[in-house]
Amino acid sequence: MTTTPFPDGFLWGGATAANQIEGAYDVDGKGLSVQDVMPKGISGPRSAQPTPDNLKHVAIDHYHRYAEDIALFAEMGFGVYRFSIAWSRIFPKGDETEPNEAGLAFYDRILDELEKHGIEPLVTISHYETPLHLAEQYGGWTNRALIGFYERYARTLFERFGSRVTYWLTFNEINSLLHAPFMSGGIPIPEGGVPEQQLYQAMHHELVASARATRIAREVAPAAKVGCMVLSMPVYPLTPSPDDALAVMDADHGNLVYGDVHTRGAYPGYFLRTLREKGIELDITDEDRDDLTNTVDFVSFSYYMSIAETADPSKRVTGEGNIMGGVSNPTLEASEWGWQIDPVGLRLVLNQFWDRWQKPLFIVENGLGARDQLVEVDGEKTVVDDYRIAYLNDHLVQVGEAIEDGVDVLGYTSWGCIDIVSASTAQLSKRYGFIYVDRNDDGTGTLERYRKKSFGWYADVIRSNGASLTR
Ligand code: BGP
């Protein structure tokens, strides 16, 4: 295919998150977030206080090196850059009435650099960074009070940055809450786990908060485009048995309900059945129902892998899912971290979401975490990451196929456009970037940045608007 299926104005770029890139975890008035007491991500226990082994406390020191990093993004030709604003930089405890000016000023500096290079910002309001005080004093999103705190935070951002930021995402992977209550919902996890009633109530509170933020954006920043953000994970039946197909429908429903509410403005019948069968009575007010009708302008999502499902418990060889594991798919290869690699799955999910919601779609995370080897080529330090080029090429080809299918795709921001701390395991050795950062899991390293082979490859993809992809 010589002509590119990618439309003019397609937004090419990369994505990061404050807690995984910035460091400076206690600088300029920033309060602690749940990430500052998760030294091993969701793969290990939280700590009572910040601990020196938490790589996120320095991360890759983007707080001080943001100008250099954004210049590298511009060198690749980024049209868009997705980043999150750390809630606890703006409201250190989360329940203050006035924001922390030094925190706001940092993001002004980020936006200044992006504007200098003509890069469109795409801002995630809450990316697994709930202020720790809201978790510990209020129980996180199980507490309805968080809706008001989040509303104040979102309004502050829209008022401060609304004239400079068009694209906003309310919550990162809002559908991960039931699977990662502390990281995703700021919910302390007692012995025996969080009661389901509380988890579903927390889900409701976040959905109401997301809808209220959407309404506020329309009042305060009329040019804003507000999107929800979900973790996408196509689910395949392990066998053609109808029972496995039913297991797939149930798994899909568990994920799709969040997008359904954000695009249709009400809970779907299958979800109400789930609540009835679990004996859960949600506290939903008439005001909540009215709030939920503030639907989004677009749907954004992360895509890394697909998974299989089966109704047969004896076949449940659990796969290494990102946050929501499933059953391993015997037809797929996996990454070094066990994530099953499936480019076609991205075409499937783009079609599924477009057919279901008829809202423009934005792929805001996709990438391969791998152990990269720094080498010297022609006197330059680099990484020969052909495996990452292959992964991204094959996934972008499928994005092109979906666009040919008639799906309206706004853009693509690869995850971890620069090496950053991973979320699930809090490692730096799980590298995603086009740019290598010299820092290791033991905290050693110079923090120097080096262009990988994929840096030039991606620059060509952007320059050719996808025509350089190999099908
Ligand atoms: C998603 C998160 C991102 C990012 C990504 C990669 O769930 O939204 O923050 O971390 O996963 O996962 P990891 O960093 O665990 O490899």
Question: Closest ligand 1 atom, CA of 367?
Answer: 6
CA 231 / ligand 1 centre spacing (Å): 10
CA 59 / ligand 1 centre spacing (Å): 14
Q: Is 365 a catalytic residue?
A: yes
CA 383 / ligand 1 centre spacing (Å): 21
Mutate to test the pocket of ligand 1, among 339, 415, 425 (most ligand atoms within 8 A of CB): 415
Domain map (residue ranges) of the chain: 11-463
pLDDT in the model for residue 316: 76
DSSP secondary structure letters along 300-367: EEEE---EEE-S-GGG--B---SSS--B--TTS-B-TT-PBP-HHHHHHHHHHHHHHH---EEEEE--
Each of the 471 residues of the chain gets a pLDDT tens digit; together they read 446 789 999 999 999 999 999 999 999 999 999 999 999 999 899 999 999 999 999 999 999 999 999 999 999 999 999 999 999 999 999 999 999 999 999 999 999 999 999 999 999 999 999 999 999 999 999 999 999 999 999 999 999 999 999 999 999 999 999 999 999 999 999 999 999 999 999 999 999 999 999 999 999 999 999 999 999 999 999 999 999 999 999 999 999 999 999 999 999 999 999 999 999 999 999 999 999 999 999 999 999 999 999 999 888 766 555 566 678 899 999 999 889 999 999 999 999 999 999 999 999 999 999 999 999 999 999 999 999 999 999 999 999 999 999 999 999 999 999 999 999 999 999 999 999 999 999 999 999 999 999 999 999 999 999 999 999
Q: Is 173 a catalytic residue?
A: yes
pLDDT in the model for residue 299: 99
Average pLDDT, the chain: 96
CA 424 / ligand 1 centre spacing (Å): 6
Yes or no: domain 11-463 corresponds to CATH 3.30.920.30? no
Q: Which of 129, 173, 206, 401 is catalytic?
A: 173
Nearest CA to ligand 1 atom 2: 423
What is the distance between the alpha carbons of residues 36 and 22, in angstroms, rounded to a whole number? 12
Nearest CA to ligand 1 atom 4: 423
CB-based contact 424:42 (threshold 8 Å): yes
Q: Name the residue among 400, 415, 367, 383 with its Cα closest to residue 470.
A: 400
Q: Name the residue among 417, 398, 415 with its Cα closest to residue 466.
A: 398
Mutate to test the pocket of ligand 1, among 422, 425, 427, 431 (most ligand atoms within 8 A of CB): 422
Nearest CA to ligand 1 atom 14: 422
CB-based contact 431:387 (threshold 8 Å): no
Q: Is 171 helix (H, G, I), strand (E, B) or coil?
A: strand
Question: Closest ligand 1 atom, CA of 41?
Answer: 15
| Residues facing residue 131 across a β-bridge | 33
pLDDT in the model for residue 281: 97
pLDDT in the model for residue 1: 46
Q: Which of 22, 129, 365, 401 is catalytic?
A: 365
Nearest CA to ligand 1 atom 9: 423
CA 287 / ligand 1 centre spacing (Å): 34
DSSP secondary structure letters along 392-458: HHHHHHHHHHHHHTT--EEEEEEETSB----TTT--SSSB--SEEE---TTS-S---EEE-HHHHHH
Structure tokens at 71: 């210049």
Residues whose beta carbon lies within 6 Å of some atom of ligand 1: 17, 20, 172-173, 231, 302, 322-323, 365, 369, 415, 422-425, 430
